[in-house]
Amino acid sequence: MEHESVTCTPAGQRELALPTVLVVDDTPDNLVLMAELLKGRYRVKVAPNGERALRIAQTEPAPDLVLLDIMMPGMDGYEVCRQLKAREATQGIPVIFLTARSDMEDERFGFALGAVDYITKPVSPPILLARVATHLALKASADFLRDKSAYLEREVALRTLEVQAIQDVTIMAMASLAETRDDETGNHIRRTQLYVKALAERLRAHPRFESVLNERMIELLYKSVPLHDIGKIGIPDRILLKPGPLEPEEFERMKEHAALGRKAIEGAERRLGMRVRFLSVAKDIAYSHHERWDGTGYPENLAGDAIPVAARLMALADVYDALIHPRVYRPAVLTHEQACTTLVKGRGSQFDPDIVDAFIDIAEDFRRIARNYPDPV
């Protein structure tokens, strides 16, 4: 029958605050002896067999340490230890074997099962108390470190979410400011984010892109895309909002938005006092998404693989969206099919050929994104 020995404690100290020791032995006299020895120092629970011990071990509050006899009828101490260590709820409870068997092979087997100590009978009370105190102290330290680690992990996760939320809101606020300047809508931001993500997902297993387009990079692309035209904030309204084609000198001024965008993001990096990976990706997109595969784009006349992958993806996504939606300089729009034809014509001249091929494969995804996020009427 299960028995608990309730100890007396100093005034003001709750007995439940004491560590709990579970003593398991099939000999009643041994249970009484051990309970008396531990009483006053620990809360003591006793069990006369292995089955009862396992039930007690899984009852809250769980014991902090188990003193376990090996030679018991039915389930012996080795099996009790094995089951305790096999269960997540009890595997962290230290087990000290108490036995009359002193063979080294028995000790080796007990330690292999997960026991922390091995005390031979007859028990020396000072040695038993010292070892119990030592292993309870070790367990308390381990519990503290585990709880502290879990707390810190929760705090880090919470702070990370907060930083990400602030980051995302800031990005969208900055991007929306740029978009409203040139009569585009926030849905352009959302659509281009999804276009670029779809292209990147399609290309992530491609031999030319697999080393770049991992899961983390795709996440950074998605965050960075909204800043692709942040430099337009620095372009005068008479140029930015001019209906119809721009004059050559006006177009030259418009092209400055790429450099202005990079400069704005670099300024943000300086104020942060550190390099932030998504801002590096955002710089590549803002500065280079008007470069062309054949080297005739701007601002650097970069060609081929010299153009950052992020900018190549953005280039196609931005042009597709511009073709199927009206702009202040071009009210007429193309159908999805006409836009696809235009992009295919730019394969190898304006756009990376493999990115165009990926677009062809997922063109219906682009159509669906455009339908799901239309411009307000």
339 and 276 in a common domain = yes
Exposed / middle / buried, residue 25 (Cβ in 10 Å: 0-12, 13-18, 19+): buried
146 and 201 in a common domain = no
187 and 120 in a common domain = no
Of 150, 174, 199, the last residue of a domain is: 150
Encoded tokens for 208: 């030319």
Cα 220 to Cα 276: distance, rounded to the nearest angstrom: 10
The overall average pLDDT reported for the chain is 87
Q: Is residue 268 part of a domain?
A: yes
Task: Return the higher-pLDDT residue of 373 and 102.
Answer: 373
Strands 95-99 and 117-120: parallel
Task: Give residue 10's pLDDT band: very low, low, confident or very high (50, 70, 90).
Answer: very low
Q: What is the pLDDT of residue 32?
A: 92
Write out the DSSP string of 201-264: HHHTTSTTTTTT--HHHHHHHHHHGGGTTGGGGGS-HHHHT-SSPPPHHHHHHHTHHHHHHHHH
Q: Is residue 348 part of a domain?
A: yes
Is residue 218 pLDDT above 50, yes or no?
yes
Q: Is residue 173 part of a domain?
A: no
Residue 3 has φ and ψ, to the nearest 5°, of -140, 140
Cα 250 to Cα 248: distance, rounded to the nearest angstrom: 5
Encoded tokens for 280: 């590096």
Question: Element (H or E) spanning 339, and its range?
Answer: helix 336-345
* Long-range contact set of residues 354-357: C-beta below 8 Å, sequence gap at least 24: 354/203, 354/206, 354/208, 354/209, 355/199, 355/203, 355/312, 355/313, 355/316, 356/316
Q: Is residue 47 part of a domain?
A: yes
Is residue 9 pLDDT above 70, yes or no?
no
200 and 84 in a common domain = no
201 and 146 in a common domain = no
Task: Give residue 1's pLDDT band: very low, low, confident or very high (50, 70, 90).
Answer: very low
Q: What is the pLDDT of residue 176?
A: 55
What share of the chain in percent tops pLDDT 90? Answer: 58
Range of the domain at 48: 3-150
Task: Give residue 45's pLDDT band: very low, low, confident or very high (50, 70, 90).
Answer: very high
Of 102, 128, 150, the last residue of a domain is: 150
Q: Is residue 174 part of a domain?
A: no
Distances (CA, A) of 266 to 169, 258, 299: 19, 13, 17
User: Residue 127 belongs to a domain with what CATH number?
Assistant: 3.40.50.2300
Return the SS3 of 46.
Answer: strand
Per-residue burial over 357-373, b if 16 or more Cβ lie within 10 Å, else e, is ebbeebbebbbebbeeb
* Long-range contact set of residues 234-239: C-beta below 8 Å, sequence gap at least 24: 234/260, 234/264, 235/181, 235/182, 235/260, 237/181
Is residue 339 pLDDT above 70, yes or no?
yes
Residue 96 has φ and ψ, to the nearest 5°, of -110, 120
Neighbours of 153 (CB within 10 A): 10
195 and 134 in a common domain = no
Of 110, 133, 150, the last residue of a domain is: 150
Q: Is residue 155 part of a domain?
A: no
Task: Give residue 14's pLDDT band: very low, low, confident or very high (50, 70, 90).
Answer: very low
354 and 261 in a common domain = yes
Min mean pLDDT across 102-111, 175-184, 322-331, 358-367 is at 175-184
200 and 285 in a common domain = yes
Task: Return the higher-pLDDT residue of 116 and 156.
Answer: 116
Q: What is the pLDDT of residue 170?
A: 60
Cα 143 to Cα 123: distance, rounded to the nearest angstrom: 28
Q: Are 69 and 110 in contact (CB under 8 A)?
A: no
Task: Give residue 241's pLDDT band: very low, low, confident or very high (50, 70, 90).
Answer: confident
Task: Return the higher-pLDDT residue of 187 and 339.
Answer: 339
Q: Is residue 159 part of a domain?
A: no
198 and 283 in a common domain = yes
User: Residue 342 belongs to a domain with what CATH number?
Assistant: 1.10.3210.10
Is residue 62 pLDDT above 80, yes or no?
yes
Q: Are 70 and 102 in contact (CB under 8 A)?
A: no
Look at phi and psi of residue 304 and say left if phi exceeds 0, alpha if psi is from -120 to 50, else beta: left
Q: Over the stretch 114-126, which tens digit does the pLDDT of each residue have?
A: 999 988 888 889 9
The length of the chain, given as a count of residues: 377
Rounded to 5 degrees, what angle do the CA atoms 128, 129, 130 make?
Answer: 90
Min mean pLDDT across 70-74, 133-137, 178-182, 282-286 is at 178-182
Is residue 324 pLDDT above 50, yes or no?
yes
Q: Are 283 and 230 in contact (CB under 8 A)?
A: no
110 and 194 in a common domain = no
Does a cis peptide bond (omega within 30 degrees of 0) precede residue 73?
Answer: no
Structural domain count, the chain: 2
Is residue 184 pLDDT above 50, yes or no?
yes
Q: Is residue 311 part of a domain?
A: yes
Task: Return the higher-pLDDT residue of 177 and 241.
Answer: 241
Cα 291 to Cα 302: distance, rounded to the nearest angstrom: 6
245 and 100 in a common domain = no
**What is the mean predicted confidence (pLDDT) over 10-37?**
80
233 and 113 in a common domain = no
Write out the DSSP string of 155-209: HHHHHHHHHHHHHHHHHHHHHHHHHHHTT--HHHHHHHHHHHHHHHHHHTTSTTT
Is residue 239 pLDDT above 50, yes or no?
yes
**What is the mean predicted confidence (pLDDT) over 43-69?**
93
Exposed / middle / buried, residue 146 (Cβ in 10 Å: 0-12, 13-18, 19+): exposed
Q: Are 208 and 293 in contact (CB under 8 A)?
A: no
What share of the chain in percent tops pLDDT 70? Answer: 88
